[in-house]
């Protein structure tokens, strides 16, 4: 069977979690005897590109970099995506598998895949779950997990607040009647764009419904995400959960009996420095602990952009020269398991509903407990006070209390949790589930 994996970005241009996931899935599908091709848009590129990534054929198609409002919303195909549509017809794949909707890999491309005669699978890796959350985090006001039920007034106000608008003003824009919002949605001014948002929410619900109807299987990464789709009255008959799995074979570290945790307790943060990942929350939590609490906290992540550098400066400012805190470069993928094994605890203070992060599973696989936010995949992979601890998303005070507990009493926290860090899913399990969907 020929299987196309359609993804918004890919190696070597981008090194995120979705790309790692797709690469691992491709290799397992190849090992099962299938032909696999990756397709991804290439914004601003002058021409199509074809190359190989670790034995997998990759097709990159150029799309416009300066997208229109309609292209960004997925209302029309972005300029250049017609090359991908023609390529799909020529490839005649048995399955086209989409990973998250972004410009150039969206509803028009899903329609094109269906038109080519392929079976269509969609996996949504992002917190928007397709077209549902305009804020992109499933955190209401950015303060607490959202129930995910889409209502124009609620969603518009929350999205505008996420862009810096005060709550009272955001609520006014959320209350704009749909008829008026529809009338101004194509006006070119920023004010009209904000006033039109209630109609955008309505249109996004329609797009979500169409995506669910076109896809032979719509895959989410958590039970909570599946419940949100049901809560929005979508027909969820073709919605399935396929939880994350780790790609590498890892070796578990010594047991607490052989190597008990010693002070200062070593706590690690591994990941991007985007605000949704919660590095700022961890920095604020450290600032709330007494300086004599015996812990060491190490931040590791890629620093490639001005936003990344600004995030590092915020962490430094929040921790005010605390000698217990260090910031180091990102860890190469082949060394992640070794670093996780050296840590006493991994901290994942995410402030969004995501399916992972995968690094939390990798930590559990090597025997390192996880302190994480009570939201998304973390809430389903961490059993509170069994293989780690859960804290309210964004609550630096609660996180500081947990950090203090593990630092002062590692024998009754970390060492007890280490015994329950077992039975982690792998990408072999993930691929086996997908093959069931492909062959259904």
Q: Which is it for the CA torsion 388, 392, 398, 399, positive or negative?
A: positive
Q: How far is CA 267 from the centre of its chain?
A: 22
* Rg of the chain in Å (alpha carbons): 22
Is there a single domain that holds both residue 286 and residue 369?
yes
Quick: pLDDT tens for 243-255: 999 998 899 999 9
Q: Name the residue among 77, 4, 75 with its Cα closest to residue 36.
A: 4
Structure tokens at 88: 């799909």
| Residue labelled with tokens 């899913």 | 425
Q: Name the residue among 86, 110, 115, 81 with its Cα closest to residue 98.
A: 110
Q: Determine phi and psi for 406, rounding to 5 degrees.
A: -70, -30
Is there a single domain that holds both residue 12 and residue 60?
yes
Structure tokens at 181: 């919002």
Is there a single domain that holds both residue 353 and residue 328?
yes
Q: What is the pLDDT of residue 333?
A: 82
Is there a single domain that holds both residue 413 and residue 432?
no
Q: Name the residue among 249, 241, 222 with its Cα closest to residue 426.
A: 249
356 or 236, which is more confident: 356
Structure tokens at 367: 């025997």
Quick: pLDDT tens for 88-138: 999 999 999 999 899 999 999 999 999 999 999 999 999 999 999 999 999
Tell me the β-bridge partners of 373: 391
Q: What is the pLDDT of residue 306?
A: 94
Q: What is the pLDDT of residue 131?
A: 94
Quick: pLDDT tens for 140-199: 999 999 999 999 999 999 999 999 999 999 999 999 999 999 999 888 889 999 999 999
Quick: pLDDT tens for 263-319: 999 999 999 999 999 999 999 999 999 999 999 999 999 998 899 999 999 999 999
pTM: 0.93
The answer on pLDDT for 440 being more than 90 is no
Quick: pLDDT tens for 304-363: 889 999 999 999 999 998 999 999 999 988 899 999 999 999 999 999 999 999 999 999
- Which helix or strand (DSSP H or E) is residue 418 part of? helix 414-418
Q: What is the pLDDT of residue 100?
A: 86
Q: The CATH number of the domain where 223 resides is what?
A: 3.40.50.2000
Residue 95 lies in a domain: yes
CB 62 within 8 A of CB 14: no
Quick: pLDDT tens for 397-421: 999 999 999 999 999 999 999 989 8
The answer on pLDDT for 219 being more than 80 is yes
> Could you give the count of Cα atoms lying within 13 Å of 380 in the half-sphere of its Cβ?
19
CB 133 within 8 A of CB 147: no
Distances (CA, A) of 143 to 158, 302, 351: 10, 26, 8
Residue 399 lies in a domain: yes
Is there a single domain that holds both residue 433 and residue 394?
no
Residue 175 lies in a domain: yes
Q: What is the pLDDT of residue 185?
A: 85
The answer on pLDDT for 236 being more than 80 is no
Structure tokens at 50: 């074809």
Q: What is the pLDDT of residue 266?
A: 98
Interaxial angle between packed helices 197-214 and 167-174, expressed in degrees from 0 to 180 and rounded to the nearest 10: 70
Residue 130 lies in a domain: no
Is there a single domain that holds both residue 348 and residue 406?
yes
Structure tokens at 424: 């982690």
Is there a single domain that holds both residue 104 and residue 174?
no
Residue 258 lies in a domain: no
The answer on pLDDT for 74 being more than 90 is no
Residue 96 lies in a domain: yes
State the chain's mean pLDDT as an integer: 95
Is there a single domain that holds both residue 279 and residue 376?
yes
Percent of the chain with pLDDT over 70: 100
Is there a single domain that holds both residue 149 and residue 219?
no
Number of domains in the chain: 3
Is there a single domain that holds both residue 193 and residue 307?
no
The answer on pLDDT for 16 being more than 80 is no
> Could you give the count of Cα atoms lying within 13 Å of 412 in the half-sphere of its Cβ?
5
Q: Determine phi and psi for 250, rounding to 5 degrees.
A: -120, 160
Is there a single domain that holds both residue 53 and residue 118?
yes
CB 300 within 8 A of CB 328: yes
Domain interval for residue 93? 2-123+215-245+428-439
CB 314 within 8 A of CB 280: yes
Residue 251 lies in a domain: no
The answer on pLDDT for 15 being more than 80 is no
- How far apart are the two ends of the chain, measured CA to CA in Å? 13
Residue 132 lies in a domain: no
Q: Determine phi and psi for 296, rounding to 5 degrees.
A: -130, 130
Is there a single domain that holds both residue 286 and residue 386?
yes
């Amino acid at each position: 069977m020929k299987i196309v994996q359609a993804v918004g970005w890919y190696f070597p241009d981008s090194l995120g979690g979705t790309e790692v996931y797709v690469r691992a899935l491709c290799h397992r599908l190849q090992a099962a005897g299938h032909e696999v091709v990756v397709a991804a848009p290439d914004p601003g590129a002058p021409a199509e590109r074809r190359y190989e990534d670790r034995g997998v054929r990759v097709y990159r198609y150029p799309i416009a970099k300066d997208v229109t409002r309609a292209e960004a919303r997925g209302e029309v195909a972005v300029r250049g995506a017609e090359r991908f549509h023609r390529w799909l017809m020529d490839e005649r794949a048995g399955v086209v598998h989409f990973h998250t909707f972004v410009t150039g890999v969206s509803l028009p491309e899903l329609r094109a895949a269906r038109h080519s005669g392929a079976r269509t699978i969609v996996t949504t890796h992002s917190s928007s779950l397709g077209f549902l959350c305009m804020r992109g985090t499933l955190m209401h006001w950015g303060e607490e997990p959202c129930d995910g039920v889409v209502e124009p007034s609620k969603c518009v106000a929350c999205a505008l607040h996420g862009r810096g608008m005060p709550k009272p003003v955001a609520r006014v824009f959320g209350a704009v009647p749909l008829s008026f919002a529809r009338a101004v949605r194509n006006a070119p001014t920023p004010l009209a764009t904000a006033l039109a948002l209630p109609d955008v929410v309505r249109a996004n619900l329609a797009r979500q419904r169409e995506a669910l109807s076109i896809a032979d299987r719509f895959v989410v990464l958590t039970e909570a995400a599946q419940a949100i789709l049901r809560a929005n009255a979508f027909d969820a008959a073709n919605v399935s959960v396929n939880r994350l799995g780790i790609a590498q074979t890892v070796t578990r570290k010594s047991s607490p009996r052989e190597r008990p945790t010693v002070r200062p307790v070593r706590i690690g943060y591994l990941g991007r420095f985007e605000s949704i990942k919660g590095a700022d929350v961890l920095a604020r939590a450290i600032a709330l602990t007494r300086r004599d609490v015996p812990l060491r906290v190490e931040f590791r992540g890629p620093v490639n952009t001005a936003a990344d550098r600004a995030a590092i400066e915020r962490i430094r400012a929040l921790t005010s020269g605390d000698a217990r805190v260090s910031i180091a470069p990102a860890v190469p993928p082949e060394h992640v398991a070794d670093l996780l094994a050296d840590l006493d605890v991994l901290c994942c203070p995410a402030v969004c509903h995501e399916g992972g992060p995968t690094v939390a599973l990798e930590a559990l696989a090597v025997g390192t407990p996880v302190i994480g936010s009570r939201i998304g995949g973390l809430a389903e992979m961490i059993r509170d006070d069994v293989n780690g601890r859960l804290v309210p998303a964004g609550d630096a005070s609660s996180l500081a209390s947990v950090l203090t507990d593990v630092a002062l009493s590692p024998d009754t926290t970390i060492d007890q949790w280490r015994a329950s860090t077992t039975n982690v899913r792998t990408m072999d399990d993930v691929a086996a589930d997908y093959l069931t969907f492909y062959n259904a």
